[in-house]
Chains A and B, each alone.
Chain A
Amino acid sequence: MNKVYASQAAMPQNPAYSAPSAASLKARSSTAGYDVTRIREDFPILHQEVHGKALVYLDNAATTQKPKTVIDCIRRVYENDYSNVHRGVHTLSQRSTELFEAARETVQKFINARHCHEIVFVRGTTEAINLVAQSFGRSTVKEGDEILITAMEHHSNIVPWQMLCEQTGATLKVAPIDRNGELQLDEFEQLLSPRTRLVSVVHMSNALGTINPVKAIIERAHSREIPVLLDGAQAAPHMAVDVQDLDCDFYALSGHKLYGPTGIGVLYGKEKWLEAMPPYQGGGDMIRRVTFDKTEYNTLPFKFEAGTPNIVDAIALGAAVDYLESIGMDAIAAYENQLLHYATERALEIPQLTIVGTAERKGAILSFTLERIHPHDIGTILDHLGIAIRAGHHCAMPVMDFFGVPATARASFGLYNTFEEIDILMDGIRKVIEVFG
């Protein structure tokens, strides 16, 4: 197996060492302004035992837990304000409509979209990408055209394009990554051709943690007038996102990875693209006037929101965004960055451990393998210690193939994780090694 340590030289010599180092203590003190104890109180689910041990939840890249404000919001709306949106004259319908549209505005401001109608509510990132593939893709992509992605994509940013290619005769091009899990930008640029119709790139990799140089990607694509979609499922919960500053054409994110409910997500699209694109699904709410001869479609964003939407979860997504903003995305990013550095440093103390994904710019994801111990076995034993991690291919099988591993174990951190939990994880990993002798 290939070793991809960030810095071999930095590896401490004594593997039995497990006390926090001076550097980690410094890391802790530098985040003193971030009150993680108070934040943890906002998440009821964290305060429980699993197999007799305090739960250590480190599977945030799969999904995040919900603050009480989100849970309460769902209950409050169903108990007080709920009805269908956009068509009732009665009070409850108007209240629901106002709350639903207010949530759209909250999301608009969160990612700094120019217009509120550039925010389309969907089920999640997967549906957002499928929407662009089937609407934008099928109306503009022809035989012989190309779609460009990278080698670190989640299946949800691979398969919709393969389907589009099958439907249109277009070709899917894949920009390579290096052994650190970083995009090879020059190779990427060389793959931009006169036939490239869209670039679709992950903002932050779920399997490796890599944060892509998306501004550079967008500049290079735009200089050839190629639009860019960013898969922001992982990035949005961990850093401030400004779609106007990035100048991306589409941005997709999932509510459930953003401390909000499942079943709700967002597609941001620049007005000019959304206006030009045909509807994705037909039905109620997306029409202005229907006769059997002809249907006139509704304005944005409703053209893309056929049928009764996921009203309450959209409103609760707004509550999740409010919650994140009450802490501050920059504060969250800085704190999680400290967590990642501490976790990386502690992980490198374990000689049998190999980190998979050592990009210079990384989000709070620690993907790793242990010599001769399969990630599934790591996951089961850690679970017995109350530690929830993910073991598997992380819906990124091509990434696993590239690194020559069947799977990895992945600890992914969120705004409520602590340095102590990282210590518990590292002790847990040592126990796994001990059990396997």
Chain B
Amino acid sequence: MLDQIRDLYQEVVFDHNRNPRNFRVMEDANRKIEGFNPLCGDKITLYVKVNDEGVIEDLSFQGSGCAISTASASLMTEIVKGQTEEEAQHLFDIFHRITTGKNEEAVNLEEIGKLAVLAGVRAYPARVKCATLAWHSLQAALKNEANTVSTE
């Protein structure tokens, strides 16, 4: 029974939850956004530094959330760093598909690397928003559209 739950809580998730990467305030960020999940009270502040060429030079986060949302944010900051805005947007689209189980057959899991550990969340509809909060925040930050993003 608890083996089943390991699909959701893989070792990588525990690792990133215990020691989240890029968990810091970024003083010289040029984008900053607050992400909020009103259903569970999860909060994230995402800091992004995009250079003139549209490359995400650095990103970091602060906040409090469950293991899934913390690990997802941590993994995201690792993977997206150094990507262009277009590449990050593309990754978001793929990530959204694997976590919601929509059109996932079109997804090449190799393309998303470590993010694949979060694919198990699709069996837990109540937890999908935990995994996508950081990504919705990133999308809003890249579009520079608002200061606060909510999953609801």
Taking beta carbons and an 8 Å cutoff, which residues of A are in contact with B? 51-53, 373-377, 380-381, 384-385, 391-393, 397, 400, 406-407, 431, 435-437
Is the pair B41, A393 in contact by a Cβ cutoff of 8 Å? Answer: yes
Q: Does B103 contact A (CB under 8 A)?
A: no
Contacts of A52 in B (CB 8 A): 1
Is the pair B2, A377 in contact by a Cβ cutoff of 8 Å? Answer: no
Q: Does B66 contact A (CB under 8 A)?
A: yes
Is the pair B65, A380 in contact by a Cβ cutoff of 8 Å? Answer: no
Give 1 or 0 for each of B17-58: 1 = CB within 8 Å of chain A CB: 000000000000000000000011111000000000000000
Q: How far is the CA of A374 from the CA of B69 in the complex (A)?
A: 10
Q: Which of A397, A406, A407, A436 contacts B14 (CB 8 A)?
A: A436
Smallest beta-carbon distance A52→chain B, Å: 6
Is the pair B39, A380 in contact by a Cβ cutoff of 8 Å? Answer: no
Q: How far is the CA of A22 from the CA of B114 in the complex (A)?
A: 50
How many A-B residue pairs lie within 8 Å, measured between CB atoms? 58
How many of B's residues come within 8 Å of A, CB to CB?
22
Is the pair B67, A377 in contact by a Cβ cutoff of 8 Å? Answer: yes
Q: Which of B5, B40, B68, B127 contacts A406 (CB 8 A)?
A: B40
Contacts of A406 in B (CB 8 A): 40-43, 64-65
Closest Cβ neighbor of A431 among chain B residues: B2
Is the pair B2, A384 in contact by a Cβ cutoff of 8 Å? Answer: yes
Residues of A contacting B: mostly: mixed
- With A384-B4, A400-B41 as known contacts, state yes or no: A374 contacts B9, CB within 8 Å: no
Q: How far is the CA of A436 from the CA of B14 in the complex (A)?
A: 7
Q: Which of A53, A373, A385, A391 contacts B40 (CB 8 A)?
A: A391
Contacts of B127 in A (CB 8 A): 376, 380
Is the pair A374, B65 in contact by a Cβ cutoff of 8 Å? Answer: yes
Q: How far is the CA of A406 from the CA of B37 in the complex (A)?
A: 11
Contacts of A377 in B (CB 8 A): 9, 66-68
Taking beta carbons and an 8 Å cutoff, which residues of B are in contact with A? 1-2, 4-5, 8-9, 14, 39-43, 64-68, 70, 124, 126-127, 130
Smallest beta-carbon distance B130→chain A, Å: 6
Is the pair B40, A392 in contact by a Cβ cutoff of 8 Å? Answer: yes
Closest Cβ neighbor of B130 among chain A residues: A376
Q: Which of A376, A392, A407, A435 contacts B2 (CB 8 A)?
A: A435
Closest Cβ neighbor of A373 among chain B residues: B67
Complex A-B, nearest 9 residue pairs according to Cβ-Cβ distance, in ascending order: A374-B66, A376-B66, A406-B41, A393-B41, A407-B41, A377-B67, A377-B66, A384-B5, A406-B64
Contacts of A435 in B (CB 8 A): 2, 5, 9
Q: How far is the CA of A385 from the CA of B8 in the complex (A)?
A: 15
Q: How far is the CA of A380 from the CA of B69 in the complex (A)?
A: 14
Q: List 15 A-B contacts (CB under 8 A).
A: A374-B64, A374-B65, A374-B66, A376-B68, A376-B127, A376-B130, A377-B68, A385-B1, A393-B40, A393-B41, A400-B41, A431-B2, A435-B2, A436-B14, A436-B67
Is the pair B42, A380 in contact by a Cβ cutoff of 8 Å? Answer: no
Contacts of B130 in A (CB 8 A): 376
Beyond A53-B1, A374-B65, 18 additional contacts (C-beta under 8 Å) are A375-B40, A375-B66, A376-B66, A376-B68, A376-B130, A377-B68, A380-B5, A380-B126, A381-B5, A381-B9, A384-B5, A400-B41, A406-B40, A406-B42, A406-B64, A406-B65, A407-B41, A437-B14
Contacts of B14 in A (CB 8 A): 436-437
Closest Cβ neighbor of B5 among chain A residues: A384
Q: How far is the CA of A436 from the CA of B41 in the complex (A)?
A: 21
Smallest beta-carbon distance A36→chain B, Å: 26
Q: How far is the CA of A375 from the CA of B40 in the complex (A)?
A: 9
Which of B2, B5, B70 has most chain A Cβ within 10 Å? B5
Q: How far is the CA of A330 from the CA of B14 in the complex (A)?
A: 46
Smallest beta-carbon distance A237→chain B, Å: 25
Q: How far is the CA of A380 from the CA of B68 in the complex (A)?
A: 11
Contacts of B43 in A (CB 8 A): 406
Contacts of B40 in A (CB 8 A): 375-376, 391-393, 406-407
Contacts of A53 in B (CB 8 A): 1
Which of A377, A435, A437 has most chain B Cβ within 10 Å? A377
Q: How far is the CA of A436 from the CA of B39 in the complex (A)?
A: 23
Q: How far is the CA of A406 from the CA of B127 in the complex (A)?
A: 16
Contacts of A393 in B (CB 8 A): 40-41
Closest Cβ neighbor of A372 among chain B residues: B18
Smallest beta-carbon distance A48→chain B, Å: 16
Q: How far is the CA of A377 from the CA of B130 in the complex (A)?
A: 10
Which of A376, A385, A397, A436 has most chain B Cβ within 10 Å? A376
Contacts of B67 in A (CB 8 A): 373-374, 377, 436
Smallest beta-carbon distance B70→chain A, Å: 8
Smallest beta-carbon distance A371→chain B, Å: 12
Smallest beta-carbon distance A156→chain B, Å: 15
Smallest beta-carbon distance A429→chain B, Å: 14
Q: How far is the CA of A64 from the CA of B6 in the complex (A)?
A: 31
Is the pair A392, B1 in contact by a Cβ cutoff of 8 Å? Answer: no
Q: Which of A385, A397, A431, A437 contacts B41 (CB 8 A)?
A: A397
